[in-house]
Structure 1
Amino acid sequence: MSTAVQAPEQRRTSRIHRAWWVAAVSFVALIGAAAFRATPSVFIEPLNREFGWSHGTISLAISINILLYGLFSPFASALQERYGIRRVVAVALALISLGSGVTIFMTSPWQLILCWGFIVGIGTGSMAMAFVATITNRWFIARRGLVSGILTAGAAAGQLIFLPLVGHLVEGPGWRSASIVVSLAALAMVPLVLLVIRDRPEDAGLRPFGAGPEYTTPPRPESGAARRTLRILWEASGSRAFWLLAATFAICGASTNGLVGAHFVPAAHDHGMPLTAAASLLAVIGFVDLVGTIFSGWLTDRYDPRVLLAFYYALRGLSLLALPTLFAGDVQPPMLFFIVFYGLDWVATVPPTIALCREHFGDDGAVVFGWVLASHQIGAALIAWAAGFVRDVTGDYDPAWYTAGALCAIAAVMALAVKRVPERLA
């Protein structure tokens, strides 16, 4: 009798939990969302040649995209809580596809700002790292750090897959062909999201992966999404930990997406490196980051996330201080070393930051992380525009690299200043 009861249970536990399928599709969707965000740095020079738009003008559109990516993220997280992940993510991918596709018709800078800045900014903001936090918090109890690392690496995989292709398309058929490819890639993700993803494990008759017998289903939020998002911001703003995490993440954005992501390719091109070679190096950063971020998630499950953040920011600062001396007309071994070293750290900061938000703010941690991510994108937007302006005024990017390196040193100190919550309270 005992054997008859246990056999079905063994068959059930031997199957792959649906949470892993949801995570896999989320990973693929993040790749689609990342595809367009990886392309603007390759488009700067072609748009400058065709339309005569300055680096500062093009960088302004990139800055608005980065800014909206961050500012819309906390509201998107609350919308996912209120109206469901599937709906919000499907609409977001459709917006990315639309914004990328209509760029082929633009002839004026305001159209560039509308397409790149606003349409794609809102779409990618709905697919930001707060989406990672929502999936992780809802579908997983065990392995949260590892899963957040894997999903975060989806953005890097988007660069890995698309950036070299985009570079070759820009050098061959032109930037319009590249825009169409990215548009179709984002649109192809929509049916997959609708087919596999469910808003909560309970919708599929399941509990989160790793949930013990004491697990109880959390209540669904009853207040409006926007009102709840602002309420959580108000409550979190009274915490010292929130401001320290927001400040460090602002520096994270400035030293990654805003500077390297937007300006590495044109900076390398200024030193005579071919566009395709520079784009390929940036793609390698994405590939290496797959390893670095997943490993960071694994470490976050085992070690103090504050120490991990301090370590990551310190190493990133050292690498950026050395970067101006590494540019050359071709790819030299020191530059390859920088790419690998820096790439391991590209978004390795995300899993520890998500863990600290969850530790300090509990069930509201995903929305709080959305606001922390907003600060990330504000920092990225400011330096994306400032670096383009510095390039127009001085003729090179060196002051931007040195400034970002110094800021990373400050972030390392601030990360250690975040207090831990006692385990029984967390």
Structure 2
Amino acid sequence: MGTIQKKQGEGERSSVARSILLVALACVVFGVQQGIHDNYGIMMTGLLGPTGLSYSDISFCIGVGALIYGFAQPFMGMLAIRTSHRFVLILGTVLMATGLLLTPLCRSFVTLLLCFGIVLPLGTTGLALGILMSAITPIIGERRAAAASGLVQAAAGIGDALMSPTLESLISSFGIQPAMSVFAIPLLLFIPIAIWIGAMSRRYTKPEEVEQVKNETMTSMIKGALKDRDYRLVTMAFATCGFNMSIIESHLFSQFVSWGIPSQTASYIMTVYGIFTMIGATATGFLCTRFRTNRVLGTVYAIRVVVSVAMLLLPKTVALALVTTALLGCSGDATVPPTTSVITKRFGATRMAVLYGFATVGHQIGAFFSSYLGGVFVDLGLGYAPLWIMNMCLATFAAASSYRIGTQAK
């Protein structure tokens, strides 16, 4: 009996250690990926001179990238089911590195659209949260998945906190080409990580579950999910999230500079966003294990209403920038753990990459309009106020939708 208990204890410790390592590696991958994805706005400032393109042209490329990031996710999820998570993670790594290396060389709208608007975002799609969580959830178990999702999403804050000021300094000192090329180097480390995560995922995923899902088409999977009321509600709310996030990623840095805040100071304020992103995502991941998911999610969206009102009405100062950026961080990626929790509990880990990916389509449609309209409004001399008015209305709708999610999503 003692021997059996000892082996069980060793097995549990091994399981915990393996889960910690997997989550840590997923955090590294997602932190770098999201750090690049969230800093398109800073890259934009470096691309304006060398490309000779207008603010609205580059905003359009970022907007197309937002659509690519959304529409490609369910396809990447299905590709992971048909082939393997390892293949998709490696594909994403290669495309990201290619996009980072080629974008600074672009000298026309068409080439910039191809490299910055398609190749780079397509690469980030292969390393998206849905792909990573669907790979590691069978290994760590669904019980730990919500908290793990919060931790992985929080790693985006680490990426932002480290990469925003670093990228701005590199662009200011050396130009856009060396700056973006430097960020392609860490991606080489992702290949062995992808191979190991993929092998572990295949080992722990139940074969019968995989075979069942493989027999489904992506269309039938999504149609089945859309019959579920909670999935419809969480997807509609998540669609508004992209509009909010793209204001932060594409225009917030430029808006602070337009207030007269020095660019270096603005980059450090964006670091505050990264730090509070970690706090918000981690907090909601654990709160979802203690409270009803709908209440956690609805409250996060309600914070965005408050921020939008503040950006519209309060004096434009460094203090306002710091406080609103902190609140945007707390409420930014914090929507992801509750959203993935609802989807995983309703449909399982294997389907999560596809169904979360489909929810991300609406998210990125919102991101496209936010990215592009922001550039149009600025070029027309309207400033950023129309964006915040739209964001306030969308966040109100999202909060109301989230509170209506049923008790089965606890």
TM-score range, shorter chain: over 0.9
Who is 1:302 aligned against?
290
After superposition, give the CA deviation of every residue in 1:7-57 in whole Å (9 maximum; x if it has no partner): 333333333442322221111111221232133201223332344322110
Who is 1:211 aligned against?
none
Identity of aligned residues (%): 23
Matched, 1:333 2:319: yes
CA distance in 2, matches of 1:120, 1:305: 33
Who is 1:220 aligned against?
210
Who is 2:126 aligned against?
126
CA distance in 1, matches of 2:97, 2:409: 45
Using a 3 Å threshold, how does the CA distance of structure 1 residues 10 and 223 change in structure 2: closer, same or farther? closer
Q: SS where residue 177 of structure 1 aligns?
A: helix
Who is 1:264 aligned against?
252
| C-alpha contact (below 8 Å) 2:31/2:155 kept by paired residues | yes
Who is 2:181 aligned against?
180
Who is 1:372 aligned against?
359
After superposition, give the CA deviation of every residue in 1:87-130 in whole Å (9 maximum; x if it has no partner): 21111011100111012321111111111111012111122221
Matched, 1:78 2:78: yes
CA distance in 1, matches of 2:305, 2:144: 29
Who is 1:421 aligned against?
408
| C-alpha contact (below 8 Å) 2:240/2:398 kept by paired residues | yes
After superposition, give the CA deviation of every residue in 1:241-297 in whole Å (9 maximum; x if it has no partner): 3332222111111111x1111100111111222222222212221111111111110
| C-alpha contact (below 8 Å) 1:171/1:276 kept by paired residues | no
Who is 2:42 aligned against?
42
Q: Please point out which of 220, 239, 243 is paired with 1:254.
A: 243
Who is 1:235 aligned against?
224
Q: SS where residue 163 of structure 2 aligns?
A: helix
Matched, 1:412 2:395: no
| Residue pairs, 1:319-330, within 5 angstroms | 319-325=307-313, 328=316
TM-score by length of 1: 0.89
| C-alpha contact (below 8 Å) 1:42/1:265 kept by paired residues | yes
Amino acid at match of 2:155: G
Q: How many residues align?
A: 407
| C-alpha contact (below 8 Å) 1:71/1:125 kept by paired residues | no
Matched, 1:245 2:234: yes
How far is 1:224 from its partner? 6.0
TM-score by length of 2: 0.92
CA distance in 2, matches of 1:327, 1:91: 46
How far is 1:367 from its partner? 1.9
CA distance in 1, matches of 2:214, 2:409: 32
Who is 1:9 aligned against?
8
Q: SS where residue 142 of structure 2 aligns?
A: coil
Amino acid at match of 1:26: A
Using a 3 Å threshold, how does the CA distance of structure 1 residues 218 and 280 change in structure 2: closer, same or farther? farther
Q: SS where residue 303 of structure 1 aligns?
A: coil
Q: SS where residue 220 of structure 1 aligns?
A: helix
Query: Which stretches in structure 2 are left out of the alignment for 5+ residues?
Result: none
Using a 3 Å threshold, how does the CA distance of structure 1 residues 201 and 17 change in structure 2: closer, same or farther? farther
After superposition, give the CA deviation of every residue in 1:339-389 in whole Å (9 maximum; x if it has no partner): 222211111111111111123334534421110111111111111111111
Using a 3 Å threshold, how does the CA distance of structure 1 residues 47 and 366 change in structure 2: closer, same or farther? closer
CA distance in 2, matches of 1:392, 1:86: 43
| C-alpha contact (below 8 Å) 1:271/1:327 kept by paired residues | no
Using a 3 Å threshold, how does the CA distance of structure 1 residues 175 and 310 change in structure 2: closer, same or farther? same
Who is 1:161 aligned against?
162
Using a 3 Å threshold, how does the CA distance of structure 1 residues 202 and 394 change in structure 2: closer, same or farther? closer
How far is 1:180 from its partner? 0.5
Who is 1:33 aligned against?
33
Who is 2:97 aligned against?
97
Who is 1:212 aligned against?
none
CA distance in 2, matches of 1:284, 1:100: 25
CA distance in 2, matches of 1:168, 1:383: 26
Amino acid at match of 2:161: L
Amino acid at match of 1:342: L
Using a 3 Å threshold, how does the CA distance of structure 1 residues 324 and 190 change in structure 2: closer, same or farther? farther
| Residue pairs, 1:369-408, within 5 angstroms | 369-408=356-395
Q: SS where residue 151 of structure 1 aligns?
A: helix
Who is 2:65 aligned against?
65
Amino acid at match of 2:54: S
Q: SS where residue 221 of structure 1 aligns?
A: helix
CA distance in 1, matches of 2:233, 2:210: 29
Query: Which stretches in structure 1 are left out of the alignment for 5+ residues?
Result: 209-215
CA distance in 1, matches of 2:342, 2:69: 21
Matched, 1:343 2:329: yes
CA distance in 2, matches of 1:127, 1:358: 18
Using a 3 Å threshold, how does the CA distance of structure 1 residues 401 and 422 change in structure 2: closer, same or farther? closer
